[in-house]
Structure 1
Amino acid sequence: MTDLGPLNYFLGISVTSTSSGMFLSQRTYAADIRERADMTGCQPSRTPVDTGSKLSATGPPVANPTLYRSLAGALQYLTFMRPDISYAVQQICLFMHDPREQHYSALKRILRYIQGTLDHGLQLYVSSTTSLTAYSDADWAGCPSTR
């Protein structure tokens, strides 16, 4: 094996090391997703999901389901460094087998949110603590079609 030096970029993840830790970002990968969707010049959205409405399996089908599936899969990989979009991406991935126009609109909203938050990522701090703390917020009964 060869030592390639300090980690800078690996599998679409950019790593910036400092004395306080590491910052992990997928800025370039996110920009590539927006380019594939032809949304590089779109207006940013303040939130990744519309909290007032729930997605359902009704409506006209998407004109290009292959593009929808490709973009949804790419967004799934983006959630590794962007937990802020995890819920929204999970919602659009529920309908990958039969995407509808409302699902594609939700996907485009996520891409508009990413447009305004390209610099987001994960900051990992140096710590001597060996315990792990996790938080979860689940709304199992909120969706009428999957509860």
Structure 2
Amino acid sequence: MNDLDPLSYFLGIAVTCHVSGLFLSQSTYARDILARTGMALCNPSATPVDTKQKFSSSSGTRCEDATLYWSLASALQYLTFTRPDISYVQQVCLQMHAPHTEHMLALKRVLRYARDTLTNGLHLYPSSIEKLVSYTDANWGMS
């Protein structure tokens, strides 16, 4: 067994150690997604979601390139590991069976938001909890 030095990069996630904990970031991965979709220089968005928009699986026109939609939705879903602020992608992923143009536009809005927030990530701090406490319902299967 070898000591491979402190963790710095693993599965597309950059790990930065600091005094109070760890910072996990996928900014390189996000840049790759933006470059792959041709949105590296797109106009940024201040929010990842349009709160007025409601999805429907039957309205609008079908997405022209469903494969691109699936690829983009999957890539953004992986990005949520360190970016809980874009967890809205899960709602868009529910439409993968029959994507429409409005669903693709929602994914592109998340991309525009990701471009504006490339330096965001997840801060992990040590916990003050010293023991694990769990609860269970012993009668769960009996009712």
TM-score, structure 1 as length reference = 0.85
Which position in structure 1 is the counterpart of 2:40? 40
* 1:26-66 deviations in Å (ceiling 9; x for gaps): 00011111111110000110110000121111211111110
Which position in structure 2 is the counterpart of 1:5? 5
* 1:101-132 deviations in Å (ceiling 9; x for gaps): 00000000000000100000011112332479
Q: Distance in 2 between matches of 1:112 and 1:69?
A: 18
Provide the identity percentage: 60
Which position in structure 1 is the counterpart of 2:116? 116
TM-score, structure 2 as length reference = 0.87
Which position in structure 1 is the counterpart of 2:79? 78
Which position in structure 2 is the counterpart of 1:142? none
Q: Distance in 2 between matches of 1:38 and 1:98?
A: 23
| Corresponding pairs, count | 131
Which 5+ residue runs of structure 2 have no aligned equivalent? 133-143
Which 5+ residue runs of structure 1 have no aligned equivalent? 133-147
Q: Distance in 2 between matches of 1:24 and 1:103?
A: 29
Whose Rg is larger? 2
The RMSD of aligned alpha carbons is 1.4
In structure 2, relative to structure 1, the CA distance for the partners of 1:130 and 1:104 (3 Å cut) is farther
Which position in structure 2 is the counterpart of 1:144? none
Q: Distance in 2 between matches of 1:121 and 1:34?
A: 17
In structure 2, relative to structure 1, the CA distance for the partners of 1:11 and 1:60 (3 Å cut) is same
